[in-house]
Amino acid sequence: MLTRRQNLLETIKGGNPDRFVNQYDFMKIITANPFSKSNPNPKYGEHNVVNAWGVTKSWPIGTPGAFPVHTDDKIVIKDIDDWKTYVKAPNVVFSDADWEDTIKEVEAIDRNEYFVAPFIAPGIFEQCHYLMEIQNCLIAFYESPDEMKDLIKYIADWELQYAEQLVKYIKPDALFHHDDWGSQISTFLAPAMFEEFYLDAYKEVYGYYKKNGVEVIVHHSDSYAATLVPDMIEMGIDIWQGVMKSNDIASLIDQYGGKISFMGGIDSAEVDFEGWTDEIVAKKVREACETFGKSHHYFIPSASQGLPMSTYEGVYEALTREIDNMSKEMF
């Protein structure tokens, strides 16, 4: 039997996996480190927590994650043309002693079995609209493109500084990076605009990780982003996590399998809700595995949500059981 790590590589490289990669089972995601401890985020049900960037966030009951609060008094960047007045990137350089707990956590992980993957969220696009508010951000691409490019570079440079510390202290061999690039039916930016503003920034950030021991880059965007897949490949993304059914996953696998793999196929909203049942979960898992996983390559069945968790208790575990059942049936 292959290790989880081996099975992942066989799946994404067109080899001989012996079962489905089961959601996040190949990664140990590292969320706690000295920066995260200095960067407050709301817990489930908490409201109006201000993080290290000055962004106010809340996590309402019944929602899958925390979201920025953008009432007029809480928007960080009041004027994109003067963004440097409002934005101060937080510190990412901490002492060796500050990193001791994280290093102990990482040293306890069996790297023969798992990839060690730091968790980065929000990504570069999300950080822009967290600081600005989404409508203001999208308008600024048209009205203040030079200022937006400067802001994006500032955020990307900060990510590179953070990456340097992560590489130094935990030596990751995978990366789990969030950045939602669309709604359920469309990208937020046309591909040409996305490429103009974000492609080079991501090539630089992901390129740094690849040059420093990261073998697998997993990018989360639980949205429509099929038109951005060529850009994902150019950036160096190995796995698009969160891929929803609206993306025509089967066609993406046929067209791009071997260059990138797709993790998702189970829209969280269809299984992770009040009143969910094991029968509903089993049906959706079967649909995903039979529709997208017949070749056993380039597809990882997973809920679209961007962490190994669920909004409603028991859903993630039920998905895991049913994917195991489908492995027994299909392999």
Beta-carbon contacts of residue 115 (< 8 Å; ≥ 6 apart): 5, 8, 26, 27, 28, 172, 173, 174, 215, 216
What element of type H or E holds 219? strand 216-220
Over residues 252-267, mean pLDDT = 98
Say what the pLDDT of residue 244 is: 98
Split at pLDDT 50, 70, 90, the class of 25 is: very high
Split at pLDDT 50, 70, 90, the class of 85 is: very high
The predicted-structure confidence for 47-72, as pLDDT tens digits, reads as follows 999 999 999 999 999 898 999 999 99
Mean pLDDT value across the chain? 97
Q: Are strands 174-178 and 115-120 parallel, antiparallel or unpaired?
A: parallel
Say what the pLDDT of residue 206 is: 98
Rounded-to-integer distance, Cα 184 and Cα 247, Å = 9
Say what the pLDDT of residue 286 is: 98
Closest CA to 121 of 305, 329, 318: 305
Rounded-to-integer distance, Cα 147 and Cα 128, Å = 11
The predicted-structure confidence for 133-161, as pLDDT tens digits, reads as follows 999 999 999 999 999 999 999 999 999 99
Split at pLDDT 50, 70, 90, the class of 277 is: very high
Domain tally for the chain? 1
Query: What sections of 177-241 are H helices per DSSP?
Result: 191-194, 200-211, 229-235
Cβ atoms of residues 41 and 129 within 8 Å = no
Side chain identity, residue 227: T
Cβ atoms of residues 146 and 197 within 8 Å = no
> By percentage, how much of the chain surpasses pLDDT 70?
100
User: What is the SS3 assignment for 49?
Assistant: strand
What domain range is 58 assigned to? Answer: 4-330
Over residues 170-197, mean pLDDT = 97
Split at pLDDT 50, 70, 90, the class of 236 is: very high
Split at pLDDT 50, 70, 90, the class of 298 is: very high
Split at pLDDT 50, 70, 90, the class of 102 is: very high
Say what the pLDDT of residue 261 is: 98
Q: Are strands 67-68 and 115-120 parallel, antiparallel or unpaired?
A: unpaired
Over residues 185-194, mean pLDDT = 98
Say what the pLDDT of residue 229 is: 98
Residue 109 token pair: 């992980």
Please report, for the domain that includes residue 116, its CATH number.
Answer: 3.20.20.210
Split at pLDDT 50, 70, 90, the class of 208 is: very high
Residue 294 token pair: 């017949």
Say what the pLDDT of residue 3 is: 98
Over residues 163-180, mean pLDDT = 98
- pTM for the full predicted model: 0.97
Q: Are strands 27-30 and 49-50 parallel, antiparallel or unpaired?
A: unpaired
